[in-house]
Chains A and B, each alone.
Chain A
Amino acid sequence: MEKIQKIKNIITALGNHEDSQAAIDILTEIGTNSPDDEIRELTAQTLIRKNTHESLRVVLISKGKGINDLSARVAMTAINELLALKDKKEAIKILDDTIKMHSEEDVRNTARSVRALMTFSS
């Protein structure tokens, strides 16, 4: 088994773990900072699927992570995952707050775009 596949399995296991908050902390600490696009992509997906306030904040607000990732592939995967959520309430609330209050203009613009997509898709 290749190293990348092992890490993907660890991310999947963390996504299913009962200790959700601890798993989110590890995904945020290690996964979102990985130099590998594939790992960051899977980490963003996993955090969005958690659909908690803490996990969504990481991928929606943090610069260089989730929808704000420099890799288009990672950003697009995160956006697709947000659009695929059945319950989008928490995600929309965080996006609205980000559009209103975030200090970084790039982050605000990205949040606005994603918010618009979610409005149209719902």
Chain B
Amino acid sequence: MQIGKISLHTTKTNTSTNKTPEKQFSTNPFGVSFKGNVIQADVFESAKNTNITKNIAEKSKLYASAIVSGINNFNEAFKSRMNSVVSFGKKITHNVFDTLERIGNTEITFDMNGIKNKMFPDRQYSVKQLSNKSVSELKTLWQDLDAID
């Protein structure tokens, strides 16, 4: 608030009953008197106070603008981070779906007999396993064994 320096108004004061000559013009715009005397000085106006108020106002504005810009920056940073998070999520989702699609299109077969034969090489020479083979396979196996010294 600023009150004052509107003090160039002239006020005729007639506080004396003796019709004394008119007092000098005061700078008090409101013509406030104190114990019969018009207050000459503009007590409502304070340069210091004005400056402080101004400073506070200005500082408040600065703070406010800083806060606003801070909020804006925060929003931008948040948005950019959220965008990166969202894009990361999209990428992961895409990869997961891509992998699932690949799994869906992949035919997985396990040659259990082959695996067992590799783990237990002698297993394929058991009578039970050999009985399931064709005669030509048995002949090949026999010839292979004969070839080993």
A-side residues, CB < 8 A to B, are 1, 3, 5-7, 9-10, 12-14, 16-17, 19, 22-23, 26, 30, 34
Contacts and interface: CB of A to CB of B under 8 A. Distances in A.
Interface of B: 122, 125-127, 130-131, 133-136, 138-139, 141-143, 145-146, 148
B146 A30 contact: yes
A13 B139 contact: no
Given A6-B125, A26-B139, A30-B139, A13 B146 contact: no
Nearest to B141: A10
Contacts of B139: 26, 30
Given A6-B125, A26-B138, 12 more contacts: A3-B145, A6-B122, A9-B125, A10-B141, A12-B127, A17-B135, A19-B135, A22-B136, A23-B135, A26-B139, A30-B143, A30-B146
A34 B133 CA distance: 22
Nearest to B133: A13
Contacts of B130: 9-10, 12-13
Q: Which interface residue of A10, A16, A19 has the most chain B CB atoms within 10 A?
A: A10
A28 to B, nearest CB: 12
User: Interface centre among B130, B134, B141, B145, by most A CB within 10 Å?
Assistant: B130
The 9 residue pairs across chains A and B that have the minimum distance between CB atoms: A13-B130, A1-B122, A22-B135, A6-B125, A26-B139, A9-B127, A13-B131, A10-B142, A19-B135
A17 to B, nearest CB: 6
Among A12, A16, A26, find the residue whose CB has the most chain B CB atoms closer than 10 A: A26
A1 B120 CA distance: 11
A107 to B, nearest CB: 27
Given A14-B135, A19-B135, A22-B135, A30 B127 contact: no
A7 B135 contact: no
A9 B125 CA distance: 7
Name which of B125, B133, B136, B148 has the most chain A CB atoms within 10 A of its CB: B125
23 contacts: A1-B122, A6-B125, A6-B141, A7-B142, A7-B145, A7-B146, A9-B127, A9-B130, A10-B125, A10-B138, A10-B141, A12-B130, A13-B127, A13-B133, A16-B127, A17-B135, A19-B135, A23-B135, A26-B139, A26-B142, A30-B139, A30-B142, A30-B146
